[in-house]
Amino acid sequence: MNSPVLLVSCADQRGLVHAITGVLWRADVNIVSNQEFVDGESRRFFMRTEFDGEPDCARLEAEVRAVLPAGADVQARLPAPKRVAILVSKEHHCLADLLVRNAYRELHAEVVVVAGNHDVLRPLAEKFNVPFVHADSANRSREAHEAELLRLLEPFQPELLVLAKYMRVLSPGFVTRWPNRMLNIHHSFLPAFAGAKPYHQAFQRGVKVIGATAHLVTDQLDQGPIIVQQVIPVDHTHAPQHLVQAGRDVEQMVLSRALRLVLEDRVLLCGNRTIIFD
Amino acid sequence: MNSPVLLVSCADQRGLVHAITGVLWRADVNIVSNQEFVDGESRRFFMRTEFDGEPDCARLEAEVRAVLPAGADVQARLPAPKRVAILVSKEHHCLADLLVRNAYRELHAEVVVVAGNHDVLRPLAEKFNVPFVHADSANRSREAHEAELLRLLEPFQPELLVLAKYMRVLSPGFVTRWPNRMLNIHHSFLPAFAGAKPYHQAFQRGVKVIGATAHLVTDQLDQGPIIVQQVIPVDHTHAPQHLVQAGRDVEQMVLSRALRLVLEDRVLLCGNRTIIFD
Amino acid sequence: MNSPVLLVSCADQRGLVHAITGVLWRADVNIVSNQEFVDGESRRFFMRTEFDGEPDCARLEAEVRAVLPAGADVQARLPAPKRVAILVSKEHHCLADLLVRNAYRELHAEVVVVAGNHDVLRPLAEKFNVPFVHADSANRSREAHEAELLRLLEPFQPELLVLAKYMRVLSPGFVTRWPNRMLNIHHSFLPAFAGAKPYHQAFQRGVKVIGATAHLVTDQLDQGPIIVQQVIPVDHTHAPQHLVQAGRDVEQMVLSRALRLVLEDRVLLCGNRTIIFD
Amino acid sequence: MNSPVLLVSCADQRGLVHAITGVLWRADVNIVSNQEFVDGESRRFFMRTEFDGEPDCARLEAEVRAVLPAGADVQARLPAPKRVAILVSKEHHCLADLLVRNAYRELHAEVVVVAGNHDVLRPLAEKFNVPFVHADSANRSREAHEAELLRLLEPFQPELLVLAKYMRVLSPGFVTRWPNRMLNIHHSFLPAFAGAKPYHQAFQRGVKVIGATAHLVTDQLDQGPIIVQQVIPVDHTHAPQHLVQAGRDVEQMVLSRALRLVLEDRVLLCGNRTIIFD
């Protein structure tokens, strides 16, 4: 991942690949990889191109846009690691996994801050030399809490927010500050087992698989575009607390995979669905 | 699978294994395999024992029951293949898989009849020399249709009913005739994508896994004890019709696995959950 | 799958996508989907394009070849179902699965003949109205047997051969008649458990997964390009005969998936590796 | 996991379960869970029993042994966390995962020391307040190196050794100090891709799955009893370095799962195979 990337989505029409690759050809860059997809239902065209060189992104975007239908979404991005903030509550498993990967430069990112509505994971963040900020949610209105959270995040200028088992619902006003740049993880039982203690509900139902879903956050709570879903098998010998542990293992796996896809600019949106160019 | 099986479930107390194996010891049979489980929540004891010999089942059940707490459920079963009826509508995939396995004696069963509320799968059943009966559901009340279905099944005396993509809801009165001996298969999206065209709904939601659930039928529609759940990965390149095909593949796999577990007497019930001794 | 397909592989150089899509643009066809890949190691370019219309394939191939580096491999194919022959010995599971899929038009193919070196699967083929030919391998040299097999296959003009648990080694001379158009399935333990009774060897080793590999046949026995590999979990309760049954289930799943990929022209070759555009 | 455990293996004969549970009954302990298995091939009996109370383990072992055939292996263990040493070289992924789980008390163990033949992972161990010792292997004979390693481990009295990507072959003399108490992890390609750079070899072969195997170390290098094997899918877009990363993810998952099974006394041996009571 050290190539610039061009992301395009627009209404489909004949000759789009030819037109876009023509712009790249004239810009004298070399295509490293190129993936397209036309969604059969919406008749929308998607393309992700990795290429060599150090382009003027704004200019390249303008030139590509000029050969596309009106309303095209075009983004050219240099391969700079993204600035990531991780939001947490009390559970450590997803945070620990991301901090290890960050410490060993396995993420195409820089984790710039960890923010908690509880103060319990501070030692874990500080172990890995990542600043921890505490925006206490107790005895505060949601508005006051989010304002405090924004104030604390502001100096770190995060481009992407990862909700690593952050157990507070964020308001649409907060979410729209990181449009399609906020990632969440939760168990995959929704809407079956909504509310508290989902693993205990799943136990009562006698489920045979436990899953996790990573998705982009929109103002529709837990209904945003899905990036990764995976499951692991469980059986009757798993007491509720074992289901919780199994759930943690799959959440951690799914979140780090989804984050990699987002950080490498491999996720495009088609309405509320994702197009993943992996 | 050519051993008699003893199935026990009862309230847990000290010495149950010792007591039950004592009965078997005195009955002069040899234990081939033995599995127990105590459910931590209900404090209920479950045991499945395969053993040698040709016991008098009624007598053995009585002797085991005599050493157990009141209300124990005890069943001793000879390894006779079970008589199975398969109920179908128009989709062939689960039926074809079961008919092939039946023809090559891979199921511990004899498929004695296929019953359809449509007549389209008759040629498939007859290819494998299994009788097909047609209980037309068109222009009939549910009561009249179920009465006709019962009349047609009656001569075949099925011990177990497999709903292999049977698309009619059966009344509680019908279901109670085969208590915990009726197996169903459906997609795993419930309750998310209830109703018609679930795969199209799943496509709109952009799911990344497709799953199937096999369960015992109770009078709670699609809420009976789960026996097997499995999923397969899908992605944005899967149009709705591809999701349907992927769904068929996983349904077929899950149903034949669940049926094997039931036919081998490996499924016990703990309230609405299953204990699977595989 | 009702679109013509263009398959290209050649040495990578700048502007290939632009050049090829330019030919398609001038041929007045509409691209339905387009996938490319550049192999980083060999610096080789691969592309698969589905498009609308009814092109003159020979002419299109020539025009595409004209804009590519020397030595390019270019194939344009109409969406005609391929004529498939299935070779079998005594095991029925893969054959039965393919015959069901063929009967219900789920394969983009027509199964024109089943050929066995034993006569045992004739009833299964004939159940599905597919001709069965018997090329007895007993008491015959390999040359004589293969000559007989070729004589029997000849009237059916198969374009693709599927070895569905065909337990004879085919000579290089036979294999080269269907270059990269012969598909085989075997267990995935090689080279660990070569030779007879691989599942018994796997049992002795105490393996925890059972897998199957579908690959194209080359003159390197069982070393041809891999198309699909999948595994399923097993444990100590699986006796060797249960491993064999588990192996059948995964073989059947893997072979039908690999066959679909080949039939839909989704498999390209990069030396001894496959590029799969799924 | 706060119950004492009884592990039994011996030649099978009638009445073993009855006899053993009789001893427990007379010892006035309550069975929490009980699993047995008779290996059909060796006719060997295995049993794992969790029970309540604080037994005199030596006495219980003697009493159980008294009712069993000669040569029985009987072990009663209190639920004390085991003292674990982790051996490492340069790769961090397995170590980091285990240190996180240790820090949050998710392992039924206490990681007492990390030992490296290189000094690079010291900061990671120390971050989690676990002592790190460096037994340099450069410019030393194997004997001298192992002697130094033993000297450094000795004060920590480890009961179990985990080779978390430890890249040195250990001599039989070293291995026999922790008989069946030394756990190793490696890729699952053996024997196909032995030697250096296995993932590069796997890439050249075009494999479609990457797997890892956790096993007990015996003096047969990498041939000891397998505890866990799992795989993840890969495809042609995975360059060798991506296969390496995918391999790390699956190694980490497999090792922590195998370690849990060993720490909870769920692994028994049947020759070179494992019986896993999960």
DSSP states of D53-97: S---HHHHHHHHHHTS-TT-EEEEE--PPEEEEEEESS--HHHHH
Tell me, yes or no, whether C97 and C145 share the same domain. Answer: yes
List strand residue ranges (DSSP E) for chain B, in order: 5-11, 31-39, 44-51, 73-77, 82-88, 109-116, 132-134, 160-163, 182-187, 209-216, 226-233, 267-270, 273-276
Tell me, yes or no, whether A118 and A64 share the same domain. Answer: no
Neighbours of chain A (3+ CB pairs under 8 A): B, C, D
Q: Cβ contacts (< 8 Å) between B106 and chain C: which residues?
A: 245
What mean pLDDT, rounded, does chain B reach? 94
Tell me, yes or no, whether C69 and C33 share the same domain. Answer: yes
Closest CA to D202 of D162, D248, D234: D234
CB pairs under 8 A between A and D: 26
Closest CA to C77 of C21, C159, C11, C161: C159
Q: D37, D16 in Cβ contact below 8 A?
A: no
B164-214 tens-digit pLDDT = 999 999 999 999 999 999 999 998 876 778 888 899 999 998 999 999 999
CATH number at residue D259: 3.40.50.170
For chain A, the first-to-last Cα distance in angstroms comes to: 12
Instruction: Give the closest of D14, D18, D35 to B18, CB-based.
Output: D18
Tell me, yes or no, whether B255 and B119 share the same domain. Answer: yes
Interval A127-149 mean pLDDT:
96
Closest CA to C85 of C161, C151, C179, C152: C161
Q: Give the Cα separation of C235 and A273 in Å (integer).
A: 38
CATH number at residue B14: 3.30.70.260
Interval B243-252 mean pLDDT:
94
Give the model's pLDDT for residue A20: 96
Chain A interface residues (partner C, CB cutoff 8 A): 14-18, 21-22, 24-25, 30-38
Please, what is the angle between helix A57-66 and helix A16-26, to 10°?
Answer: 140
Interval B45-49 mean pLDDT:
95
- Residue in C with minimal Cα distance to B121: C104
- Nearest CA to CA, how far is A267 from chain C (Å)? 17
Instruction: Give the closest of C18, C32, C34 to A22, CB-based.
Output: C18
Instruction: Give the closest of C41, C207, C276 to D226, CB-based.
Output: C207
Q: Tell me the pLDDT of chain D (278 aa) as tens digits.
A: 679 999 999 999 999 999 999 999 999 888 888 899 999 889 999 999 999 888 899 999 999 999 999 999 999 999 889 999 999 999 999 999 999 999 999 998 999 999 999 999 999 999 999 999 999 999 999 999 999 999 999 999 999 999 999 999 999 999 999 999 999 999 887 677 888 888 999 999 899 999 999 999 998 878 899 999 999 999 999 999 999 999 999 999 999 999 999 999 999 999 999 999 98
Q: Cβ contacts (< 8 Å) between D97 and chain A: which residues?
A: 97, 100
Q: B92, B250 in Cβ contact below 8 A?
A: no
- Nearest CA to CA, how far is C231 from chain D (Å)? 8
Q: B114, B88 in Cβ contact below 8 A?
A: yes
Instruction: Specify whether the backbone of B85 is left (phi greater than 0), alpha (psi in -120 to 50) or beta.
Output: beta
Cα angle for residues A8, A10, A14 (degrees, 5° grid): 105
Mark yes or no for CB contact C207/D192 under 8 Å: no
Instruction: Give the closest of A14, A21, A37 to C17, CB-based.
Output: A21
Instruction: Give the closest of D92, D249, D278 to A104, CB-based.
Output: D92
Neighbours of chain C (3+ CB pairs under 8 A): A, B, D
Cα angle for residues C9, C11, C16 (degrees, 5° grid): 75
Among A60, A77, A94, the domain boundary falls at A77
Among C178, C205, C229, the domain boundary falls at C178
Give the model's pLDDT for residue C1: 63
Q: How many domains does chain C have?
A: 3
Tell me, yes or no, whether A230 and A196 share the same domain. Answer: yes
Mark yes or no for CB contact A35/C36 under 8 Å: yes
Under 8 Å CB-to-CB from C275, ≥6 apart: which residues?
C9, C37, C39, C46, C267, C268, C269, D236
DSSP states of B70-139: TT-EEEEE--PPEEEEEEESS--HHHHHHHHHHHTT-SSEEEEEEEESSSTTHHHHHHTT--EEE---TT
Tell me, yes or no, whether B112 and B170 share the same domain. Answer: yes
Q: C85, C162 in Cβ contact below 8 A?
A: yes
pTM of the shown model: 0.94
Give the model's pLDDT for residue C190: 67
Mark yes or no for CB contact A226/B204 under 8 Å: no
Q: Give the Cα separation of A260 and A84 in Å (integer).
A: 12
Cα angle for residues B215, B218, B222 (degrees, 5° grid): 55
Tell me, yes or no, whether B102 and B217 share the same domain. Answer: yes
Q: Cβ contacts (< 8 Å) between A16 and chain C: which residues?
A: 31
Q: Give the Cα separation of B189 and B184 in Å (integer).
A: 15
Give the model's pLDDT for residue A1: 63
Residue B2 has pLDDT above 90, yes or no: no
Interval B218-227 mean pLDDT:
88
Q: In what order do the strands lie in the sheet with B226-233?
A: B132-134, B109-116, B82-88, B160-163, B182-187, B209-216, B226-233
Interface test with D, best of A32, A100, A130 (most D CBs within 10 A): A100
C192-204 tens-digit pLDDT = 788 888 899 999 8
Q: Give the Cα separation of B78 and D14 in Å (integer).
A: 20
Q: Give the Cα separation of B50 and A44 in Å (integer).
A: 59
Q: Cβ contacts (< 8 Å) between D207 and chain C: which residues?
A: 226, 229
Cα angle for residues B200, B202, B208 (degrees, 5° grid): 135
Q: Give the Cα separation of A199 and B159 in Å (integer).
A: 35
Q: Give the Cα separation of A225 and A216 in Å (integer).
A: 5
Sign of CA pseudo-dihedral C8, C10, C16, C19: negative
Q: Give the Cα separation of C68 and C12 in Å (integer).
A: 9
Q: Give the Cα separation of D235 and C275 in Å (integer).
A: 8
β partners of residue C49: C6, C34
Q: What's phi and psi for A218, nearest 5 deg? A: -120, -175
Instruction: Give the closest of A18, A35, A38 to C21, CB-based.
Output: A18
Under 8 Å CB-to-CB from A147, ≥6 apart: which residues?
none
Q: Per this entry, what is the length of chain C?
A: 278
Among B77, B108, B130, the domain boundary falls at B77
A1-17 tens-digit pLDDT = 679 999 999 999 999 99
Mark yes or no for CB contact A100/D97 under 8 Å: yes
Residue numbers of the domain that contains D124: 82-178
Tell me, yes or no, whether D188 and D159 share the same domain. Answer: no
Q: Give the Cα separation of A44 and B134 in Å (integer).
A: 46
CB pairs under 8 A between C and D: 84
Mark yes or no for CB contact D34/B17 under 8 Å: yes
Residue C235 has pLDDT above 70, yes or no: yes
- Nearest CA to CA, how far is A208 from chain B (Å)? 5
Token pair for residue B176?
A: 């109670």
Q: Cβ contacts (< 8 Å) between B32 and chain D: which residues?
A: 38
C262-274 tens-digit pLDDT = 999 999 999 999 9
Tell me, yes or no, whether A46 and A119 share the same domain. Answer: no
Q: Give the Cα separation of A86 and A183 in Å (integer).
A: 10
β partners of residue B161: B85, B182
Confidence category of residue C245, pLDDT binned at 50, 70, 90: very high
| Strand-pair category, C5-11 with C73-77 | antiparallel
SS3 D146: helix
Q: A162, A186 in Cβ contact below 8 A?
A: no
Q: Catalytic one among B12, B39, B222, B249? A: B222
Is C222 designated active site? yes
Give the model's pLDDT for residue D192: 78
Tell me, yes or no, whether B44 and B90 share the same domain. Answer: no
CB-count exposure of residue B191 (10 Å: 0-12, 13-18, 19+): exposed
Residue written as token pair 């370019």: C45
Give the model's pLDDT for residue B1: 63
Q: Give the Cα separation of B62 and D176 in Å (integer).
A: 52
- Nearest CA to CA, how far is B83 from chain C (Å)? 22
Q: B181, B84 in Cβ contact below 8 A?
A: no
Q: What's phi and psi for A99, nearest 5 deg? A: -65, -40
Q: Cβ contacts (< 8 Å) between A204 and chain B: which residues?
A: 272-273
Give the model's pLDDT for residue A210: 92
Q: C36, C27 in Cβ contact below 8 A?
A: no
Between A67 and C54, residue with greater pLDDT: A67
Percent of chain A with pLDDT over 70: 99
ipTM for the whole predicted complex goes beyond 0.95: no
Token pair for residue D64?
A: 């159980």
Q: Cβ contacts (< 8 Å) between C47 and chain A: which residues?
A: none
- Nearest CA to CA, how far is B128 from chain C (Å)? 8
Tell me, yes or no, whether B176 and B90 share the same domain. Answer: yes
Mark yes or no for CB contact A236/B274 under 8 Å: yes
- What residues of D act catalytically? 222
Q: Give the Cα separation of C181 and C217 in Å (integer).
A: 8
- What residues of A act catalytically? 222
Q: Cβ contacts (< 8 Å) between D228 and chain C: which residues?
A: 208
Instruction: Give the closest of D96, D106, D237 to A100, CB-based.
Output: D96
Q: What's phi and psi for C55, nearest 5 deg? A: -75, 160
Q: Give the Cα separation of D51 and D29 in Å (integer).
A: 6
Mark yes or no for CB contact C249/B249 under 8 Å: no
- Nearest CA to CA, how far is B152 from chain A (Å)? 34
Sign of CA pseudo-dihedral D198, D199, D200, D206: positive
Tell me, yes or no, whether B50 and B131 share the same domain. Answer: no
Chain C interface residues (partner A, CB cutoff 8 A): 14-18, 21-22, 24-25, 30-38
